[in-house]
Amino acid sequence: MKTRKQNLTGKQKPGKKNIKQPLKHSFDQKAAMRLNKYIANAGVCSRREADELIRKGEIKINGETVTELGTKVAHGDTVTYGNKKLSHEQKVYVLLNKPKDYITTADDPQQRKTVLDLIGNTIRERLYPVGRLDRNTTGLLLLTNDGDLAKKLSHPKHGVRKLYHVHLDKPVSKADLQNIEKGVAIDDKMVRPDRIEYANPDNKREIGIELHSGQNRVVRRIFEQYGYKVTKLDRVIFAGLTKKDLPRGKWRRLTQKEVNYLRMIS
């Protein structure tokens, strides 16, 4: 496999004496960007994961395989991963209030409605959901092409706050509420809500539960273990973002202040 190695200045390392290897591009140092950041900005993965792709020789610049970390990409370079040409896009951050019956995915082979259908062609950049909400769950969903931030916000270790309003088929007993608060085993892992309480003191079928677990259908599965069926599930807070002035099925771009806050907590 043909490889090319560069040092941090973008100059090719010397090989045999009296043999000069021509570079296929030259760098404008002010415009150059580290390759792992370029890959993350393209929405492929986080920077750390991008380093692994580079080490494994899965990234090419202008047709040449690159394996050295610290390689930089200049304006006009073509970066490819597999057969896909990567695009260094402007970062876009969208908050969506998801309705029922929409799939939280970029594409669906069954041609069902996806959350991206709600955005349409208004935004040209390709967005990806941060985490998932199942088809029947409503509420806040963040979409972005910032792979680095998306990865961090999805990881439980960062403790991203997620608050759900849960409607159940019957009143929840105080004892069950206390047991859930102590922790519930899901997929051999103990899930402990950060907070759980009655959302409406006069209606014990409605529960507010805050947690940072990212497991699939975790809220529904918690209550199912105690014999309750979730009839309605709505995410009302995600990473400090709320549904204020955002009707169901609508979306908006995040403000720079909100983006800076997300970067800070992650």
- Annotated catalytic residues are 134
Burial class (CB in 10 A: 0-12, 13-18, 19+), 43: buried
230-233: list long-range contacts, CB under 8 Å, 24+ apart.
Answer: 230/166, 230/167, 230/168, 230/169, 231/167, 231/168, 231/169, 232/138, 232/166, 232/167, 233/136, 233/137, 233/138, 233/139, 233/164, 233/165, 233/166, 233/167
End-to-end CA distance of the chain: 38
